[in-house]
Amino acid sequence: MIRALILSLALPLAAVAAPDVLLIAVDDLNDWVGCLEGHPDVKTPNIDALASRGVLFTNAHCQAPLCNPSRTSLLSGLRPGRTGIYGLAPFIRTVPEFADIELLPGYFRKHGYATGIGGKVFHTYPDPRFRPRDFDAWGPACTFGPLPPEKFVQTPSPLRLVDWGVFPARDEEQNDHAIADWAISRLKEKSVRPRLVAVGFGKPHVPCFASQQWFDLYPADSIRLPEVPPDDLDDVPPFARYLHWDLPEPRLQWLRESGEWKALVRAYLACVSYVDSEIGRVLKALDESGAADNTIVVLFSDHGWHLGEKGISGKNSLWERSTRVPLVIAGPGIRPGRCGEAVELLDLYPTLAELAGLPLPTGLDGVSLRPQLKDPSAPRERPAITTANQGNHSVRDRHWRYIRYADGSEELYDHRQDPHEWTNLAADPAHAADKARLSAWLPDHDAPPAPGSAQRILTRDHDGRWIWEGKPTEGSGSR
């Protein structure tokens, strides 16, 4: 009788215990994931298994198609147009206006969580002077290594990271393996406090290197390439190419002429399966820790990646291939299912705060996804908005994508009829009402680039010329 009374008293306490949080970030992972059906041959059993026990957001989008602004938005809960972070620099806390901003991990630490980070969660590994605000423990940084003595593929860019092939010989040599090892050790530790563990993997970001076993999953003679109509860009505004004017990632034309298109697609698929295996190691450690039943697991990518679609590889576009990302949330009280509503990565900050029972932070641009975690079919009124440099925005709802560029040019796609975004309907008067409805959601804030902005920054000079990283785009020929 006494034992039964003790158990009855203990159960409510356990039910309201603050949950642990495991954040898993993946770099440059598009929808080539089994559960998202982005590529017919991709093999991601561990991500798929996680999706089956949580909510898979099939229409999730990043706030910027580039690492630093996307991760800054997610961790701050603010849109790029609020912070002015559009390029690979600066780190948000070096901007005077945001020196004391409360980022997601720091907010959890402030409210009693033990926090740890390993790999690429921020775009760059936090400077030591900023670390104490957010984390108690730090694991290895993401290096995208190791690299071979020389590049395998002599791309137009000499950048060492723009490369692909079978390397290294063993998974254990990969930087991502060390990052997973750190996360596993962290999950094995016992903590008297609830904990937030943030782990960020580098693959499938270039270099697309993986060991032979992962390439063997995708025989070269059976690789299926993305379908790219020859006239796909004929109805796209010229301004669209300014967003990816001069990138190190090669264009489709070069990939075709050099015979490397299939090799890159194969290498990307191999890297996706490789990183899925490292994610599986971390999830297995969570299950073995005994804490899985009280852990919220979030898996996301910072943005997508083109593999020939729209004539490019890489990111830096406002099209579906760049903006759509995998997003899975699983854990206690979450009803498994698939949600097709448009959602945003910056929704994660308020969502996690609410799930953890913390006071809801003020001033965030995101909206909690808790209604969809209770019922994946629950509707959302607002669309997802992606920004690529100042003045360029995409609005994506359940069925439509609307793009407006800084020069006023537009694109409009009906995903019910055109999931690949091959037919731009913006000039069709029959869709004026659709444009008006979607354009009403364009961001109110459109800040200029923050002080110290650099790398992939597009601006306009006093003569009205568009400037990409210090060089005029006009008159330079199509890149």
User: Would you call the peptide bond into 90 cis, given omega within 30 degrees of 0 as the criterion?
Assistant: yes
Q: Residue 366's closest CA among 300, 465, 417?
A: 300
The whole-angstrom distance between residue 48's C-alpha and the CA centroid of its chain comes to 17
How far is Cα 7 from Cα 28, in angstroms, rounded to an integer?
Answer: 47
- Which contacts of 153-162 are long-range, i.e. CB under 8 A and separated by 24 or more positions? 153/260, 153/263, 155/248, 155/250, 155/254, 156/250, 156/254, 157/247, 157/248, 157/249, 157/250, 159/248, 160/207, 161/205, 161/206, 161/207, 161/248, 162/206, 162/207, 162/248, 162/249, 162/250
Which among 39, 61, 62, 123 is annotated as catalytic?
123
Backbone angles phi, psi at 476, to 5 degrees: -95, 0
259 neighbors 155 (Cβ within 8 angstroms): no
Note if 67 is an active site residue. yes
Compute CA distances 279 → 20, 208, 213, 220, 297, whole Å: 17, 17, 17, 25, 12
How far is Cα 379 from Cα 399, in angstroms, rounded to an integer?
Answer: 13
Note if 399 is an active site residue. no
Name the strands in the sheet holding 384-387, side by side, starting at the edge strand that comes first in the sequence.
384-387, 393-396, 400-404, 410-414
Backbone angles phi, psi at 127, to 5 degrees: -55, 140
Amino acid, single-letter form, for residue 249: E
DSSP string, 87-153: SSB--GGGSGGGTT---HHHHHHHTT-EEEEEESSSSSPPPTTTGGGT-SEE-PPP------SS-SS
Amino acid, single-letter form, for residue 122: F
Pairing state between β 313-314 and 295-301: unpaired
Which among 67, 142, 271, 339 is annotated as catalytic?
67
Compute CA distances 292 → 50, 211, 285, 302, 403, whole Å: 12, 30, 9, 24, 41
Backbone angles phi, psi at 355, to 5 degrees: -65, -30
Residues acting as catalytic residues: 67, 123
